[in-house]
Structure 1
Amino acid sequence: MVDHADGPILALDLGTTTGWALRTPDGHIASGTVSFRPSRYDGGGMRYLRFKAWLDQIEAQARGISAVHFEEVRRHAGTDAAHIYGGFLATLTAWCETHTIAYQGVPVGTIKRHITGKGNADKAAVTAAVRAHGFVPADDNEADAIAILIWATETEGGVR
């Protein structure tokens, strides 16, 4: 479980297009997506180096991050997706450990159940539920990140 310590909270939907949502201590929420699609000239590890640099930038802009929550995926559509997710997960957890930031994976079903009431809700239902909370996500990646942030703030990150 994660102790938020009243600092900024970052929620991530990890992937080539990563959805993110950041809640500041005053309750302001910013969100969006960022692409880590490699160019044809990039080596295999460049997307992860760009991801780490992006994390550094977000932390600097937020003046620190107290906790990171991310979607914990157990099944992937294919081998490439699993490898890419694993690379982002390794980069994120190592980055959090280096910066002494608490982190927690949240199962997909837990997020969906919290935001929609159904653990097997589809992407459209999650997006609609996030919109019902007053957000306007650009795509399902951003909607997932916002849903994770809503779960983290409403359940205190699972801490009871």
Structure 2
Amino acid sequence: MTRILIFLFAILAAPAMAQSQFECKGKPKFSLSDGTNGCVLHLDKGMLNSTVSSGGDRPTRKSTQRAVELYVSVSGTYSKKMRTINGRIKELCQMYHPQLVAVHADKSARKIIVVMFWPGRVLGQAEETAQAVSYDVPYQGASMELNCTAPRNFGRRPG
């Protein structure tokens, strides 16, 4: 009887466990000091576009800077607190700083962009269409200086 229960558990639980971090299969994994785990999805050069509007009839200022991008998939305790988010982003920046510096060996990048995706936490309702199911996967991101200081958060506020 026990063997049957173990066999049924293995058959039923294996697909669920395999899907929990399927996007991390074959990717470099990490673990942060607060117990958050994840993997690196993308690390490469990119661009940071900024738009500043003063309001009224003043002109809008736009700027573009070269940057190094680090996109990660994260699982663990989701937090809406900016202090926790910025701490995680800084820790990721410092953890991968040697690789980030190697990517911008030509010294053209001025900023580092870190984006954490939370695929295990889906916001809102799923939109089912005939071809695919689309979910709103939350992300938390910031751009910062090359020495991993002064993060400036972007995107919508954590929800």
Bigger relative CO (Cα 8 Å, ≥ 6 apart) = 1
Query: TM bucket by the smaller chain?
Result: under 0.3
Which structure: greater strand fraction?
A: 2
Larger radius of gyration: 2
TM-score (norm 1): 0.26
Q: Scaled by the length of structure 2, what TM-score is found? A: 0.26
